[in-house]
């Protein structure tokens, strides 16, 4: 189903309008006609999260600003897929007209692994993530701290992205490598 077909068939029920009303009062910014499916959870520091007009957040998605300084921005006409997790400890920016498939994991932090310190006492290391406009991230991909994904890029299903992705590149694998370019 292409994005225009998805949007053509996206119906707002009274429950969708109620969820939109709720989040428009709690988020830093929540635009017009943002579609929140049931069982979406926006967690912790809601005032640090912005979602632009006509975006769609699908069922089971989790969006979390993990601390008082963490921010998340989601651009207009962007879809966050079923059971996708977006967790920010510093900053995550997702551009306009992006398609984020189900079960994608976007996280801008990880933990230290020194042997002499218990794992649950390791420091949290962060680096911002930027996903520019017109990006497609396929099912099950993982986007790790410090990554920039340039305009028009495609991330293949199951890819683990830990390095910069150039404009219109198609990447896949573990770790992700360049497979080609969009025509």
Tell me which residues are annotated as active site: 111
Long-range CB contact pairs, 48-57, < 8 A, 24+: 48/72, 48/88, 49/73, 49/74, 50/74, 51/23, 51/27, 52/76, 52/77, 52/78, 52/96, 53/77, 54/7, 55/31, 55/79, 55/80, 56/6, 56/7, 56/10, 56/80
CA distances from 82 to 34, 62, 79, 101, 128 (A): 15, 9, 9, 7, 23
C-alpha of 69 from chain center: 18
Tokens of 124: 């949290």
| In the block, residue with structure tokens 């926006």 | 42
Strands 35-36 and 105-107: unpaired
């Amino acid at each position: 189903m292409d994005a225009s077909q998805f949007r053509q068939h996206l119906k707002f029920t009274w429950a969708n309008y109620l969820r939109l009303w709720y989040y428009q009062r709690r988020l830093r910014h929540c635009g017009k006609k943002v579609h929140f499916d049931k069982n979406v959870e926006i967690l912790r520091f809601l005032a640090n999260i912005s979602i632009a007009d006509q975006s769609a957040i699908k069922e089971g998605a989790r969006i979390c600003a993990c601390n008082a300084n963490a921010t998340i921005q989601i651009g207009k006409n962007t879809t966050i897929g079923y059971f996708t997790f977006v967790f920010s400890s510093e900053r995550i920016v997702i551009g306009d007209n992006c398609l984020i498939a189900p079960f994608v994991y976007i996280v801008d932090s990880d933990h230290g692994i020194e042997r002499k310190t218990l794992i649950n006492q390791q420091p949290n290391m962060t680096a911002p993530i930027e996903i520019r406009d017109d990006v497609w991230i396929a099912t099950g991909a993982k986007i790790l701290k410090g990554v920039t994904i340039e305009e028009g890029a495609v991330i293949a299903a199951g890819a683990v992205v830990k390095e910069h992705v150039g404009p219109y590149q198609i990447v896949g694998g573990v770790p992700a490598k360049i497979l080609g370019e969009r025509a």
